[in-house]
Amino acid sequence: MRHRVAGRKFDLPTDQRMALLNGLVRALLLYEKIETTETRAKEVRSIAEKIITNARANDLHARRMARKTLNDEDLVKRLFDVIVPKFADRPGGYTRITKIGFRRGDAAPMVKLEFASEE
């Protein structure tokens, strides 16, 4: 039974899996949209949304928690100065996943993961 066991393993060891997901989160925060497989996007979405939710507190602890995942002070500064103000009034759901077709090599379902607009 796998009741209450969250997260996908991607057939990778823990350190490689976390490096993959952290790299995708960094790319999402840097470029504000990425194209990746559907399963990776679903995992990245949960990490990114938690980082943004914590960053909305805008205090030292939130910066340290963001730095733990992002590991780049310039990206943390961008998160707090550019990205978080866009979602100040939004209670959640900061990202959007849009299906864009299948990858040619292995027919993996591809999606575009981007920040939801401030509408």
31 burial type by CB count under 10 A (0-12 exposed, 13-18 middle, 19+ buried): exposed
Question: Which pTM value belongs to this model?
Answer: 0.91
Ordered by where they begin, the domains of the chain are 14-115 (3.90.1030.10)
Dump pLDDT digits (tens) for 64-111.
Answer: 999 999 999 999 999 999 999 999 899 999 999 999 999 999 999 999
Instruction: Kindly tell me if the per-residue pLDDT of 119 is higher than 90.
Output: no
Looking at residue 81, what is its pLDDT? 95
Looking at residue 53, what is its pLDDT? 95
Dump pLDDT digits (tens) for 11-59.
Answer: 999 999 999 999 999 999 999 999 999 999 999 999 999 999 999 999 9
